[in-house]
Amino acid sequence: MIRKTVGGVVEATEGVKDNMTFMLGGFGLCGIPENSIAELVKKNIKGLTCISNNAGVDDFGLGLLLQQKQIKKMVSSYVGENDEFERQMLSGELDVELIPQGTLAERCKAAQGGFPAFYTPAGYGTEVAEGKETREFNGKMYILEKAFKADFAFVKAWKGDEAGNLIFKGTARNFNPCMCGAAKITVAEVEELVPAGTLDPDHVHIPGIFVQRIFQGERYEKRIEQRTVRKKE
Domain presence at residue 189 = yes
pLDDT at residue 64 tops 90: yes
pLDDT score recorded for residue 193: 97
pTM to 2 decimal places? 0.92
pLDDT score recorded for residue 202: 96
CATH at residue 46: 3.40.1080.10
Q: Which domain holds residue 197?
A: 9-113+149-216
The DSSP secondary structure of 146-209, one letter per residue, reads EPP--SEEEEEEEEEETT--EE--GGGSSSHHHHTTSSSEEEEEEEEEE-TT-S-GGG-SB-GG
> What is the mean pLDDT of the segment spanning 87-106?
94
Domain presence at residue 15 = yes
pLDDT score recorded for residue 79: 80
Query: What mean pLDDT, rounded, does the chain reach?
Result: 94
Domain presence at residue 232 = no
Domain presence at residue 89 = yes
pLDDT at residue 13 tops 90: yes
Domain presence at residue 227 = no
pLDDT score recorded for residue 65: 95
Strands in 117-120's sheet, in edge-to-edge order, are 117-120, 140-146, 134-137
Task: Please state the domain count of the chain.
Answer: 1
Domain presence at residue 87 = yes
Domain presence at residue 167 = yes
Domain presence at residue 121 = no
d(CA 32, CA 46): 20
Buried b (16+ CB within 10 A) or exposed e, 195-218: ebeebeeeebebebebbbbbbbbe
In this predicted model, what pLDDT tens digit does every residue of 177-220 receive, in sequence order?
A: 999 999 999 999 999 999 999 999 999 999 999 999 999 998 88
